């Protein structure tokens, strides 16, 4: 078990670069597609303002918390909180989840991480000494995806959960029992505040949705014996069934899925779940 990243200084530098790209693509996306909405409701696009990003590094994972910047510039603050030895790490991981959550919340309060308006979670694993290695497309895709999500939330802000995602209409349009079960389970977990379970289940529903679209576009005989979200998305893009923008959104959701699936603390945000669930509707609207 690697308790503390030996290359922590490289990580700090790397993820400043990551969020520079993330914020740049978010802001360009808003100005390109959502200018009028931003002018009318700037409170729904808070990353358009300069932000302070406080990054909390822990053993196996780290969190980026977004605050409003008071300096007029994007700022980056780093906090390190690693286990001192394996005994401490194992003792913590053996605690009931609610006690782990209480201790984590105390850590946030002690470091004045309180009035943030959003956050993201990243995982790097605990078995190898990790290097800051991320695909250059990831912050681009996630920055654009966050802008799309903020727009989607603006449209849905006054609606109930059923109306937000058009549950009955979507289920009726897709008309598949497996998809309906998975999608409704994801929504049920979301409503109960179980955002990790919701995100993972929604990703399963997304894979089922893409499989259905693949079979409709090609045939059941053309379906690969082993397939994943990106495998199906690539084939649908090659056939012209989905465009570049939708393909990028699916890639973004898949990257998010990989992250939440490897969460050590289960600390997954409401936005993470909304990003996956909301993308299902967008993708279904394009495919069916």
53, β-bridge pairs: 66, 76
- The confidence score (pLDDT) of residue 158 equals 41
pLDDT grade for 76, boundaries at 50, 70 and 90 = very high
Cβ 199 vs Cβ 185: under 8 Å: no
Taking residues 253-277, report their average pLDDT: 69
Share of the chain above pLDDT 90, in %: 36
Taking residues 156-175, report their average pLDDT: 68
- The confidence score (pLDDT) of residue 26 equals 97
* Predicted TM-score (pTM) of this structure: 0.55
Spacing of C-alpha 25 from chain mean position: 16
- The confidence score (pLDDT) of residue 1 equals 42
Taking residues 191-215, report their average pLDDT: 89
* pLDDT tens profile 225-259: 888 898 899 999 999 998 988 888 888 888 877 76
Assess whether pLDDT exceeds 80 at residue 197: yes
Q: What's the order of all strands across the beta sheet hosting 61-68?
A: 75-81, 51-58, 61-68, 118-123
Burial class (CB in 10 A: 0-12, 13-18, 19+), 12: middle
Cα dihedral across residues 219, 223, 229, 232: positive or negative: negative
Q: What angle do CA 220, 222, 223 make, to 5 degrees?
A: 70
What b-and-e string marks burial along 18-36, b requiring 16 or more CB atoms within 10 Å of the CB?
bbebbbebbbebbeeebee
Higher pLDDT, 256 or 217: 217
- The confidence score (pLDDT) of residue 267 equals 55
Assess whether pLDDT exceeds 80 at residue 263: no
Cβ 282 vs Cβ 246: under 8 Å: yes
Taking residues 73-79, report their average pLDDT: 94
**Residue range 159-287, CATH number:** 1.20.120
Higher pLDDT, 19 or 254: 19
Higher pLDDT, 267 or 242: 242
* pLDDT tens profile 98-153: 898 899 999 999 999 988 989 888 776 555 555 666 778 889 999 999 998 888 77
Cβ 87 vs Cβ 72: under 8 Å: no
- The confidence score (pLDDT) of residue 23 equals 97
Domain spans of the chain, in order of start? 8-135, 159-287
Cα gap 199→192, rounded to integer Å: 13
Closest by alpha carbon to 251, among 143, 119, 120?
A: 143
HSE-up of 98 (CA within 13 Å, CB side)? 0
- What residue has token string 């700090």? 12
């Amino acid at each position: 078990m690697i308790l503390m990243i030996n290359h922590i200084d490289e990580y700090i530098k790397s993820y400043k670069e990551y969020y520079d790209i993330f914020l740049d693509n978010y802001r360009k996306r808003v100005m390109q597609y959502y200018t009028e909405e931003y002018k009318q409701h700037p409170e729904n696009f808070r990353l358009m303002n300069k932000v302070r990003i406080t990054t909390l590094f822990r053993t196996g994972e780290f969190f980026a918390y977004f605050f409003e910047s008071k300096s007029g510039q994007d700022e980056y603050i780093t906090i390190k909180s690693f286990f001192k030895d394996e005994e401490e790490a194992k003792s913590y991981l053996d605690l009931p989840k609610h006690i782990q959550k209480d201790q984590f919340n105390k850590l946030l309060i002690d470091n004045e991480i309180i009035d943030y308006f959003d956050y993201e979670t990243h995982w790097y694993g605990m078995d190898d000494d990790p290097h800051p290695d991320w695909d250059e497309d990831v912050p681009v895709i996630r920055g654009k995806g966050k802008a799309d999500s903020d727009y989607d939330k603006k449209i849905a802000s006054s609606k109930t959960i059923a109306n937000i995602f058009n549950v009955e209409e979507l289920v009726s349009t897709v008309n598949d029992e497996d998809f309906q079960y998975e999608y409704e389970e994801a929504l049920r977990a979301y409503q109960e505040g179980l955002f990790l379970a919701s995100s993972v289940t929604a990703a399963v529903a997304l894979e089922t949705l893409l499989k259905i679209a693949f079979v409709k576009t090609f045939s059941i005989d053309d379906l690969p014996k082993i397939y994943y979200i990106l495998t199906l998305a690539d084939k649908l893009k090659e056939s012209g069934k989905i465009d570049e923008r939708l393909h990028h959104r699916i890639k973004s959701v898949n990257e998010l899925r990989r992250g939440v699936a490897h969460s050590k603390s289960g600390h997954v945000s409401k936005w993470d779940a909304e990003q996956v669930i909301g993308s299902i509707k967008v993708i279904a609207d394009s495919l069916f």
